[in-house]
């Protein structure tokens, strides 16, 4: 679309090297930013004069998206059609859940994750199902069409209506899209995309950013939904494009432990739904299968009670989930004992151990403390505080918690146990899975009498919780 002849006589687009730290604009690449003195922070950008950018928008309008785009004018907001009304199901319930109830027209969704985690598989499954009802285009820059077709055949996917394209040049992709007018585009992956307007190598930050920006613009102008696949680098950010995160409408991360067949899709940002919503899948020989009732898989499964283990009810997104927190406390040979938290925040663990000493009278200063959430899941809410301390205590004393017991609750710095949202819903989830006893904040104890089959031990202070054991 950038090739469409501009009607107005306008200045040429130029490339500039912009510092990621301070934003200073340089005419050529250099190692050190002249503005702030930082090293290796310059990357290449296309800078279009404003008039030209407007003209290219006009060219797209003329290219045949009649009705899709109108000249902007001031409008009463209550008369505007809600974009979120136009949601379509992806045909995969757990993916719909993470998206906030289906895919919104014109939404750009970035799906990130480690290589091999199953991003291509998930999106191929989704797009194949959606292609039955709306025109869809699967653009692959990593695999050949033969590979994609082979995978689709192995997964027994319906392929009617699904169009595919092996291409990495954004201009070419958009030309094909303008001819075909899909309602859904999958670009796998964003790291392989490049645009003619930059000289930087494909995969570089500026190429990824600019290519994604073009697809975003196209999506907004035409109401086409776009899935972008992005690989996560070892450092954890989507390669280069932390910058992508604010350009797109939703960022979903695909997580999972290597060796485990379970995969968790998490909404990290979502303009059309709740963040931290989880979708759970299992990878099998027929691709990814939904796990609609995930509580069971995050418990270690063994019925024997072990010291250092506490089951908690977390509420990630909109549903409660039972997960097991494990702790190992062991006398340390180091003068500075280790505190290691996997699936939880490390600083919070250190803080909780201080509260345990100060308000519970339990000293672990000379012990290494390891805490892990089973199943490779990450718990980000404070409801994990109490279970973590109970698991630590259980390991320290080498005594398992009472059978069929769950806990949740935030622990404050003065040793008080604070309530967490949706207490009753969590208690019901625990009862459904056969738990008999719950150690919970006083304010979370059920107001409407009791939860069937569950003995609720309401605690106000950390010392009460320790006594309850």
Joined together, the tokens standing for residue 155 give 């997964």
Question: Closest distance between Mg ion and the C-beta of residue 365, in Å?
Answer: 47
Residue (135 or 203) nearer to ligand TYD, CB: 203
User: Judged by CB under 6 A, does residue 161 bind ligand TYD?
Assistant: no
User: Judged by CB under 5 A, does residue 120 bind Mg ion?
Assistant: yes
Question: Closest distance between Mg ion and the C-beta of residue 233, in Å?
Answer: 15
Q: How many residues line the site for ligand TYD (CB under 6 A)?
A: 14
Residue (199 or 260) nearer to ligand TYD, CB: 260
Joined together, the tokens standing for residue 47 give 């800078």
Closest CA to 183 of 291, 85, 110, 103: 103
User: Judged by CB under 6 A, does residue 276 bind ligand TYD?
Assistant: no
Residue (218 or 254) nearer to Mg ion, CB: 254
Question: Closest distance between ligand TYD and the C-beta of residue 195, in Å?
Answer: 23
User: Judged by CB under 6 A, does residue 150 bind ligand TYD?
Assistant: no
Residue (283 or 299) nearer to ligand TYD, CB: 283
Please state, as a whole number, how many other Cβ atoms lie within 10 Å of the Cβ of residue 289: 15
Question: Closest distance between ligand TYD and the C-beta of residue 212, in Å?
Answer: 17
Joined together, the tokens standing for residue 137 give 């285009």
Judged by CB under 6 A, the chain residues 358 through 377 that form the site for ligand TYD are: none
User: Judged by CB under 5 A, does residue 192 bind Mg ion?
Assistant: no
Residue of 117, 329, 401, 457 that binds ligand TYD (CB under 6 A): 117
16 binds, among Mg ion, ligand TYD, none (CB under 5 to 8 A by kind): none
Residue of 70, 160, 235, 285 that binds ligand TYD (CB under 6 A): 285
User: Judged by CB under 6 A, does residue 120 bind ligand TYD?
Assistant: yes
User: Judged by CB under 6 A, does residue 252 bind ligand TYD?
Assistant: no
Sort strands 262-270 and 278-284 into parallel, antiparallel or unpaired.
antiparallel
Residue (2 or 120) nearer to ligand TYD, CB: 120
Q: Sheet harboring 136-140: ordered strands across?
A: 162-166, 136-140, 184-188, 225-231, 108-113, 250-255, 262-270, 278-284, 287-290
User: Judged by CB under 6 A, does residue 233 bind ligand TYD?
Assistant: no
Question: Closest distance between Mg ion and the C-beta of residue 337, in Å?
Answer: 42
Cα gap 305→402, rounded to integer Å: 8
User: Judged by CB under 6 A, does residue 121 bind ligand TYD?
Assistant: yes
121 binds, among Mg ion, ligand TYD, none (CB under 5 to 8 A by kind): ligand TYD
Residue with the CB atom nearest Mg ion in the bound state? 120
158 binds, among ligand TYD, Mg ion, none (CB under 5 to 8 A by kind): none
Which three-class secondary structure string do you get for the chain? CCCCCCCCCCCCCEEEEEECCCCCEECCCCCECCCCCCECCEEEEEECCHHHHHHHHHHHHHCCCCCCCCCCCCCCHHHCCCHHHCEECCCCHHHHHHHCCCEECCCEEEEEECCCCCHHHHHHHHHHHHCCCCCEEEEECCCCHHHHHHHHHHCCCCCCCEEEEECCEHHHHHHHHHHHCCCEEEEECHHHCECCCCCCCCCCHHHHHHHHHHHHHHHHHHCCEEEEEEEECCCCCECCHHHHHHCCCEEEEEECCCCCCEEEEEEEEECCCCCCCEEEEEEECCEEEECCCHHHHHCCCCCCCCCCEEEEEEEECCEEEEEEEEEEEEECCCCCCCEEEECCCHHHHHHHHHHHHHHHCCCCCCEEEEEEECCCCCCCCHHHHHHHHHHHHHHHHCCCCCCCEEECCEECCCCEEECCCCHHHHHHHHHHCCCCEEEEEHHHCCCCCCCCCCEEEEECEHHHHHHHC
Question: Closest distance between Mg ion and the C-beta of residue 231, in Å?
Answer: 8
116 binds, among ligand TYD, Mg ion, none (CB under 5 to 8 A by kind): ligand TYD
User: Judged by CB under 6 A, does residue 235 bind ligand TYD?
Assistant: no
Question: Closest distance between ligand TYD and the C-beta of residue 117, in Å?
Answer: 4
287 binds, among ligand TYD, Mg ion, none (CB under 5 to 8 A by kind): ligand TYD
Cα gap 11→13, rounded to integer Å: 7
Q: Among all chains, which residue has been given the structure tokens 């392929």?
A: 159
Residue of 55, 98, 99, 119 that binds ligand TYD (CB under 6 A): 119
283 binds, among Mg ion, ligand TYD, none (CB under 5 to 8 A by kind): ligand TYD
User: Judged by CB under 6 A, does residue 113 bind ligand TYD?
Assistant: yes
Site string for Mg ion, 69-88 (x = CB under 5 A): --------------------
Question: Closest distance between Mg ion and the C-beta of residue 283, in Å?
Answer: 13
Question: Closest distance between Mg ion and the C-beta of residue 151, in Å?
Answer: 10
Question: Closest distance between ligand TYD and the C-beta of residue 162, in Å?
Answer: 16
38 binds, among Mg ion, ligand TYD, none (CB under 5 to 8 A by kind): none
Joined together, the tokens standing for residue 345 give 């925040």
Which residues of this chain interact with ligand TYD, rule CB under 6 A? 113, 115-121, 151, 155, 283, 285-287
Which residues of this chain interact with Mg ion, rule CB under 5 A? 120
């Amino acid at each position: 679309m950038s090739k469409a002849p501009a009607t107005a006589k306008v200045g040429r687009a130029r490339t500039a090297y912009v510092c990621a730290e301070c934003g200073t604009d340089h005419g050529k690449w250099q190692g050190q930013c002249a503005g702030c003195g930082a090293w290796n922070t310059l990357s290449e950008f296309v800078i279009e004069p404003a008039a030209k950018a407007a003209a290219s928008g006009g060219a797209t309008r003329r290219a045949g998206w009649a009705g899709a785009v109108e000249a902007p004018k001031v409008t009463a907001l209550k008369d505007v059609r809600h974009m979120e009304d136009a949601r379509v199901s992806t045909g995969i319930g757990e993916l719909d859940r993470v998206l906030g109830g289906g895919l919104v027209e014109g939404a750009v969704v970035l799906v990130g994750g480690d290589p091999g985690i199953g991003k291509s598989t998930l999106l191929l499954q989704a797009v194949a199902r959606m292609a039955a009802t709306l025109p869809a285009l699967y653009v692959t820059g990593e695999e050949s069409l033969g590979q994609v077709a082979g995978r689709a055949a192995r997964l027994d996917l319906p392929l009617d209506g699904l169009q595919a394209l092996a291409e990495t040049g954004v201009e070419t992709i958009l030309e094909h899209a303008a001819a075909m007018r899909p309602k859904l585009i999958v670009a796998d992956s964003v790291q392989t995309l490049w645009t003619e307007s930059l000289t930087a190598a494909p995969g570089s930050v500026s190429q990824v950013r600019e290519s994604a920006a073009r697809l975003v613009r196209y999506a907004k102008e035409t109401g086409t939904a776009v899935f972008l696949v992005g690989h996560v680098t070892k450092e954890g950010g989507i390669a280069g494009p932390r910058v992508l995160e604010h350009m797109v409408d939703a960022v979903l991360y695909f997580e999972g432990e290597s060796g485990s067949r379970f995969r968790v899709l998490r909404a990290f940002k979502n303009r059309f739904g709740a963040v931290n919503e989880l979708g759970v899948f299992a990878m099998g020989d027929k691709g990814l299968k939904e796990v609609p009732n995930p509580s069971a898989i995050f418990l270690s499964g063994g019925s024997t009670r072990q010291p250092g283990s506490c089951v908690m009810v977390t509420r990630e997104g909109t549903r409660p989930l039972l997960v097991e927190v494990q702790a190992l406390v062991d006398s340390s040979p180091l003068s500075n004992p280790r505190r290691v938290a996997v699936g939880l925040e490390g600083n919070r663990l250190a803080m909780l151990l201080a509260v345990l000493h100060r308000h519970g009278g339990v000293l672990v200063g000379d012990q290494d403390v390891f805490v892990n959430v089973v199943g490779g899941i990450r718990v980000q809410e404070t409801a994990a505080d109490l279970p973590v301390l109970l698991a630590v205590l259980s390991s320290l004393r080498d005594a398992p918690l009472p059978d069929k017991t769950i806990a949740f609750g935030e622990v404050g710095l003065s040793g008080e146990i604070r309530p967490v949202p949706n207490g009753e819903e969590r208690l019901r989830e625990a009862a459904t899975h056969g738990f008999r006893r719950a150690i919970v904040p006083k304010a979370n104890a059920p107001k409407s009498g009791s939860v069937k089959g569950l003995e609720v031990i309401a605690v106000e202070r950390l010392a009460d919780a320790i006594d309850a054991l």
